[in-house]
Amino acid sequence: MKRSEINNVFRDASACFAANGWHLPPNPRWDVTDFGLGDFDAFGLTLVNLAEEVEYCEKLMYARKDQVTPAHTHQAKKEDIICRAGELTLRLWAGHPDEVGDAPCTVNVCGEPRTIPSGETLVLSAGERVTLCPGTYHAFWVSSEEGVIGEVSTANDDANDNFFLNPDIGRFPEVEEDEDRAVTLLSDT
C-alpha cells in the first residue's frame, strides 16, 4: 500500500468515527491493512486498538462498502464482533470451509443462539453483535456505504493467531513511502 492511501484511509476512518460519536484515546494504535493482497478497496480493513490487556482486547474498525476481511479463524481468541454503525455482513463456517460443507454453524447473536448452515451469511444492524468461538471461520464486510465495527475479545495475537484460508494473505501490508506519515501504524514500529 502507498503511504498516501493509508493517510487518506486514516482521515476517512477518523471522520467516520467522529460522525458516529466515537472518541478515540489520546494515543490509539492504528492498523491499516490490505492483507498483503495489494487491493485495499476489495480486501482491506482499518483497525484501532483501544485496549490491549493480558486478559482481553478491544478494537474499533472502519470499512467501506463491500471491503472484505478475508475468511479466517483463531485457535485461541474468542471474540464478539459488533456492528457499531451501518450494516455488517458475516459469512460463517462451523470449521474449515473445505471440510464442513453446509454443517450447522451455531453462534450467539446478541446473547441468543442462532444456527445457520456453514457458508451462509448473517447480517447485523447497528448495535447487534455475534460471538465467535475459536475454530469458527468467518469473513465479513460492511454492506452499507461505510461502517464502524467493534471487537471485544480474549487476548489478541495478530502475529500468531490469525489463520486465513488464502495462504497468500499477510496480516500487515508492505508500505511504499510516497508521502509523510499522517499516523504511525502498528506495522511501522
Confidence grade of residue 23 (pLDDT, cut at 50, 70, 90): very high
Tell me the pLDDT tens digit for each residue of 164-185: 999 889 878 889 999 999 999 9
* CA distance linking residue 41 with residue 147, whole number of Å: 14
Report how far apart, in Å, the C-alpha atoms of 17 and of each of 24, 69, 76, 86, 147 are. 8, 19, 29, 12, 9
C-alpha cell at 170: 499477510
Beta strands in 65-111 (DSSP E): 69-73, 79-85, 87-93, 104-109
H or E element, residue 15: helix 3-19
What domains can be seen in the chain, in order of their start residue? 3-188 (2.60.120.10)
The overall average pLDDT reported for the chain is 95
Please state, in angstroms and rounded to a whole number, the distance separating the CA atoms of residues 159 and 170: 10
pLDDT at 117: 98
Q: List pLDDT tens digits, range 126-157.
A: 999 999 999 999 999 999 999 999 999 999 88
Q: How far apart are CA 51 and CA 188, in angstroms?
A: 19
Q: What percent of the chain has pLDDT over 70?
A: 100
pTM above 0.85, yes or no: yes
Q: What is the pLDDT of residue 172?
A: 83
Does residue 189 register a pLDDT over 80? no
